[in-house]
Every structure is written in C-alpha cells, then in structure tokens.
C-alpha cells in the first residue's frame, strides 16, 4: 500500500532485523552520556570529615532506633512480653478460613487447599499439626 509502518524489525526476535542509519550511527559515536561515571563506586573510599559532619547534623533529632544497642535487661523484658503471643501481623488467613480448612485437611488435598487459599503447603500442614493458628478454636 506504500505506507511506512513503525515496526522496522522482522518481528518476534526483538531488534535483530533493525538497521541503524548512517546519520544515527554518527550520532551514537559522539555520545558520551554516563561514560564519566561508568563503573565508579564508593568501595574502598572514605567520606571527608566535612561530609561526615553534615550527615551527622542531618540526623539530629532522628527518633529511629537503628544503630542503637539494647541492654541485656531490656532484651529479656521484650522477649518475656512476647512469649506465647501469636504474631497477628504476619497472619495471612482469617479465623473463618482456618475453621473452614481444618475439617477439610486430608492426606491428599493439602496442595489443593493451599492453592485455593493462596498460601503455601507448609502453612496448611502447620495448621493440621497445630503449629500455626493454634489459638483459633
């Protein structure tokens, strides 16, 4: 029909059939975009004292506890307070779903239940063995 289309490749193989024009090749030769920083990393180098002072100043008032160490007494208190408590934030299944799953668990349908509820097979096995969701009755 004499219409020039956009796709200049053979199709299906990516850009294998594409040929650059001479004008475009000349333009690419002078292109040094990103060449000055290619392969440069900070590995093996150190920040200057001025940079370190600036970074320190920026962090003044930061309430994030990253980098601080807890005393052994604090660690023991936190551990004791969490002992025996289920971690609800990490739960994927609701209580109703667990109650539906329990009577349906059999030897052969663990994979089917896992796919149906969008969890791993190990989660279904742990429900069966009482390792997970034990507080739901």
**What pLDDT is attached to residue 108?**
72
Task: Decide if 92 is inside a domain.
Answer: yes
Cβ atoms 101, 113 nearer than 8 A? yes
The pLDDT of residue 85 is 73
Q: What pLDDT, on a 0 to 100 scale, did the predictor assign at position 31?
A: 67
Q: What is the pTM of this model?
A: 0.39
For residue 80, tell me if it sits in a domain.
no
67 C-beta neighbours (distance < 10 Å), count: 7
User: Residue 99's domain spans which residues?
Assistant: 88-129
Which pLDDT tens digit goes with each residue over 41-100? 777 889 999 999 998 888 887 767 666 778 899 989 988 888 877 777 677 888 899 998
Residue 18 has pLDDT above 90, yes or no: no
Look at residue 112 and tell me if it is in a domain: yes
């Amino acid at each position: 029909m004499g219409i020039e289309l956009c796709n200049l490749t053979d199709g299906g193989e990516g850009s294998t059939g594409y040929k650059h024009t001479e004008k475009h090749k000349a333009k690419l030769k002078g292109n040094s975009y990103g060449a000055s920083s290619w392969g440069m990393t900070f590995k093996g180098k150190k920040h200057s004292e001025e940079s370190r002072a600036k970074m320190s100043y920026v962090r003044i008032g930061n309430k994030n506890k990253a980098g601080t160490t807890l005393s052994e007494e604090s660690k023991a208190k936190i551990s004791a307070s969490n002992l025996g408590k289920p971690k609800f934030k990490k739960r994927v299944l609701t209580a109703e779903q667990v109650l539906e799953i329990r009577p349906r668990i059999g030897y052969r349908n663990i994979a089917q239940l896992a796919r149906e509820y969008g969890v791993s097979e190990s989660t279904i096995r742990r429900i069966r063995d009482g390792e997970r969701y034990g507080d739901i009755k």
